[in-house]
Amino acid sequence: MVTIKEIARLANVSQSTVSKALNNRPDISEVTRKKIQELAEYYDFSPNAFGKGLKSRITGNLGVIFCREQQPLSGNPFYSRVLEGIEGEIAINNYNLILQLLSVTHPTVFPKMIREHQVDGLILVGNIRKEFIQLIQNSNTPLIMIDPSYYNEKCNQILIDNEHGAFTATSYLISNGHRRIGFISGDLIRLSFRQRFDGYMKALKFHAIKTDEDLIVTGGEEKGYEHVRQLLHLRKAPTAIFSANDINAILGYNAARDLNYRIPEDISFIGFDDIELAKMVSPPLSTVRVYKEELGSIAIRMLLKTINSEIQTIQNTVVPVKLVERASVTKID
């Protein structure tokens, strides 16, 4: 990428003159301004990095990159709330937000906001590829990851207390008399689902309940309908199902009803995340609450500390969760 120094050399002017021209300062000639702007356009040079001074290289912007997977960000019941927390904390600290969305099949392309020094630090949210994350780390840009798809020991991370939450949810079902408890989730290669599965397994072991592999169905993104249908077709069906996220639990409601199961009289459900829809479905879904706005808010505070060199070592922050009891679980003998 061409630098301001190279633009100055090509135009035979000083770097400060280049900065003045690209920021439309009045104290240079129109001929010089036009020459510099034409060079900048030809070499695809962006002045954004110098908006607050060449020496400080502070932009006043923070970048956020989301992987939107199957849904647009505005319709994602989890990450849209994380973004609300990010936006609120950025505003409080008088920074600006630059947002980029990646599709689930995004190529490994170096982000423009990093390439052109448009941001002072970056937050990555969700299921983002390792190769892409490595590109960012190689740039030495201050970086925080929220709910990453894999554990990265070389990066500051904001994590959910997934394992404890899943242990609590499964134990809650057991305390209500359930012993045949199904587990459904997306692909276990993803860190959050793997940790929730581990919590489920630890709860069974803690309560001396033998694991039945037939009761565990994983894979895909939103396969809750198919997963629950498979479980309820077992010769000995479960009496309760723990879903590693609310969306799949709610989709599972439809499968249960299509098979003439009553909820919770015939089959109990508990989810994870506590999205808004969880309390609106019938019956309202028992779940594990994730404090989504706090994930975003904490990430911004940690990123600003990293930018200001207040954090010298890699840190992981685990955000606690809370069991929310609603009407989708019944007690059995």
Lookup result for tokens 């280049």:
18
Count of residues making up the chain: 333
**Looking at per-residue confidence, does 208 or 109 come out higher?**
208
In a 3-state reduction of DSSP, which class is residue 93?
Answer: coil
Inform me whether the pLDDT recorded for 198 exceeds 60.
yes
In whole angstroms, give the CA distance from residue 97 to residue 321: 27
Q: State the amino acid at position 97 in one-letter form.
A: L
Q: What is the pTM of this model?
A: 0.81
In whole angstroms, give the CA distance from residue 89 to residue 74: 19
Inform me whether the pLDDT recorded for 286 exceeds 60.
yes
Strands 287-290 and 321-324: antiparallel
Which residues pair with residue 268 across a beta bridge?
A: 240
- pLDDT confidence of 178, banded at 50, 70, 90? very high
Convert the pLDDT of each residue in 119-139 to its tens digit. 999 999 988 888 888 888 888
CATH architecture of 4-50: Orthogonal Bundle (1.10)
In whole angstroms, give the CA distance from residue 48 to residue 114: 11
Which part of the chain is CATH 3.40.50.2300? 61-160+292-319, 162-289
Dihedral, 324, 329, 331, 333 alpha carbons, nearest 10: -140
Query: Is the bond leading into 264 cis (omega within 30 degrees of zero)?
Result: yes
Tokens of 190: 């993803």
Which part of the chain is CATH 1.10.260.40? 4-50
Chosen CATH of 162-289 out of 3.40.50.300, 3.90.226.10, 3.40.50.2300, 3.40.47.10:
3.40.50.2300
Chosen CATH of 61-160+292-319 out of 3.40.50.2300, 3.30.450.40, 3.90.930.60, 3.40.50.150:
3.40.50.2300
- pLDDT confidence of 68, banded at 50, 70, 90? low
Cβ-based neighbours of 191, under 8 Å, separated by 6 or more: 148, 149, 150, 151, 162
